[in-house]
Structure 1
Amino acid sequence: MNVPEVKIRVNYNEGKVEPLKEVIEASPSNSLGNAAVLGWRILLDSFNIFPGPLPGIVLRLGDKALGLIVPLLLFLAWDLVTRYELTPPQLLPLPKQVAVTFLDMVRSGELLVNLKISLLRVTAGFFAGSFTGLVLGTAMGLSKKIESYVGPLFHSIRQVPLLGWIPLLILWLGMGETFKVFFIAIGAFYAMTLNTFQGIRDVPGEYLEVARVFEYNRLQLFRKIVFPAALPSILTGVRIGLSLSWFLLVGAEFTGASEGIGYSIAWARQIFQTDVVIAGVFVIGVIGLLMDRVVTLLEGYLLRWRRKTFTA
């Protein structure tokens, strides 16, 4: 089905956005994304939100811009609610105020300093937990005897909610950096152990038969058969573990810290600086999204052989 493509010429006169003309043309290359994006584009223009070259950029994105519709609708609702003062400004400030606060935090260096500290913590905890989980998951996956010894304890401990470890860890480790790194490492450890173990156990029997035909020893079997077959599951563990580590970082900094992005949000909440809280939450979300994209790119690179296999 052909979807009409709508082109809008916009006149920027003294800072105002004025749609001048709509031209509808049928084209087989058009997509539902253009039509959907056009709806919120007209809506944003009517409230003079996001003027400038954005209309053309978004319309050119087409289907890829569909993921922006819900966030932009939420942003529009936020703008309308605050503009017409439907909520107290102390609870929900204007988007413009949050943007100004964010820029002030960047210029002062406060945001970058706190973000650097948080990234160092999450890096240390993630790599410590991931390495330990990779070793334990591999051992449990390769040896049923090790699984019989360690498996029941591991599976029972991982049923404890992650935030439930905070009181005990504070008693054991205090509230210093050791507590924060250890707490962050727990999430990565769980994810890596479980996914590595499951990935190794799910290696198809046909692959093992091939190894027997070629008379691989144990090292060759692991390096050429088991590890490549389990790699997709291991990378899933990396992705989940990194997300959990970032989540637990914020929890650790909420609990007891004097610096870090989580601490800045907790402190701003206590003194009712809602704009700082929202700006901090935005930063946490963006950094988390960037981390996920990096792991996705790494996964695509390491598993590029699968694309070659399926397209051959």
Structure 2
Amino acid sequence: MTSNTDWRALVLPLAALALWYALTALQLVDTKLIVPPGAVLDAAWQVASGGQLLAGLRASLVRDLSGFAAGSAAGILFGLLLGVSRWAERLVGPTFHTLKQISLFAWLPLLSTWLGTGEAAKVLFIALSAFYPVALNTFEGVRGVTRAQLEVARVLGFNRIQLAARLILPAASARIATGLHLALLYAWLATIGAEYLLGSSAQGIGSVVIRGKATFHVELIVVGMLLIGGVGLLLNRLAAAVEDRVLHWRGPGH
């Protein structure tokens, strides 16, 4: 069943590839704008053989994972604080819920004003993109702990550390994992957005697209787009696999 489903999922991409090839081979489109698949493969080989593609991918992933780690750690701590403290929720909760309504990319002009267009601004922007989904899901996961569960913990004599380690975190783990999964995807989108919109000479996959646009090298733009999508797909699959493995105790259907 799974194998058949996977094959069916390839029908549309393969049909699109065949249509793309036919349109360019028969000269039914302007091949300066819609370039042939072969030209894209040639461009990919050129940047890959020159080491530019690998260097750019490495730079983007380091930037992405640095921001993801920082934003996720801050999000878990902040979500736990809001979840366990009514005082903290009343004090900073309304501000947090208001700020999360602001489009993420609306922060870029402010960050570039404060920090310029260097690495610090990019990593902070990526961290911000990871922070919100992790903080929100952690908060909701902690608030999902029932009174009955808390009463059992009190009967068992749990201190605060035991309460957090043996009840609150395990009970909220599924929501935290969901937040981390979303954060990984958002962080990758933010990485590409930061590299593209905070234009600089720094390496990264976004710089491949920028270079293609600057030189009207459409093949290079398509190579960058395909690589961005491919890495995003791999990150999504990796996050799902890790989530299933870590939370295997939930059983099938969750």
**Taking structure 2 as the reference length, what is the TM-score of the superposition?**
0.93
- CA distance in structure 1 between the partners assigned to 2:25 and 2:123 by the alignment: 42
The equivalent position to 1:159 in structure 2, one of 94, 101, 110, is 101
- CA distance in structure 2 between the partners assigned to 1:274 and 1:122 by the alignment: 25
**Alignment partner, residue 90 of structure 2:** 148
- The answer as to 2:114 corresponding to 1:169 is no
- How far 1:125 moved relative to its partner? 0.8
**Aligned partner of residue 81 in structure 1, secondary structure:** helix
State whether residues 137 and 193 of structure 1, in contact with CA within 8 Å, keep that contact through their aligned partners in structure 2: yes
Deviations 1:243-300 (A, max 9, x none): 1111111111112221211011012112111111111111111111111111111111
Q: Which amino acid aligns with 1:294?
A: L
C-alpha RMSD of matched pairs (Å)? 1.7
State whether residues 90 and 272 of structure 1, in contact with CA within 8 Å, keep that contact through their aligned partners in structure 2: no
**Alignment partner, residue 13 of structure 2:** 71
**Alignment partner, residue 25 of structure 1:** none
- The answer as to 2:201 corresponding to 1:261 is no
- CA distance in structure 1 between the partners assigned to 2:7 and 2:141 by the alignment: 35
- CA distance in structure 2 between the partners assigned to 1:163 and 1:85 by the alignment: 39
- CA distance in structure 2 between the partners assigned to 1:198 and 1:101 by the alignment: 47
- CA distance in structure 1 between the partners assigned to 2:27 and 2:144 by the alignment: 56
The equivalent position to 2:156 in structure 1, one of 188, 199, 214, is 214
**Alignment partner, residue 186 of structure 1:** 128
- How far 1:174 moved relative to its partner? 0.8
State whether residues 264 and 280 of structure 1, in contact with CA within 8 Å, keep that contact through their aligned partners in structure 2: yes
- How far 1:212 moved relative to its partner? 3.2
**Alignment partner, residue 123 of structure 1:** 65
- How far 1:102 moved relative to its partner? 1.2
Identity %: 38
**Alignment partner, residue 248 of structure 1:** 190
- How far 1:202 moved relative to its partner? 1.4
- The answer as to 2:241 corresponding to 1:297 is yes
- CA distance in structure 2 between the partners assigned to 1:233 and 1:68 by the alignment: 31
**Alignment partner, residue 145 of structure 2:** 203
**Aligned partner of residue 251 in structure 2, secondary structure:** helix
Q: Which amino acid aligns with 1:194?
A: L
The equivalent position to 1:271 in structure 2, one of 215, 227, 230, is 215
- How far 1:84 moved relative to its partner? 1.9
- CA distance in structure 1 between the partners assigned to 2:27 and 2:171 by the alignment: 57
Question: Which stretch has the larger CA shift, 203-212 or 144-153?
Answer: 203-212
- CA distance in structure 2 between the partners assigned to 1:111 and 1:167 by the alignment: 28
How many matched pairs? 251
**Aligned partner of residue 257 in structure 1, secondary structure:** coil
The equivalent position to 1:286 in structure 2, one of 230, 239, 247, is 230
- How far 1:208 moved relative to its partner? 2.5
**Alignment partner, residue 168 of structure 2:** 226
**Aligned partner of residue 10 in structure 2, secondary structure:** helix
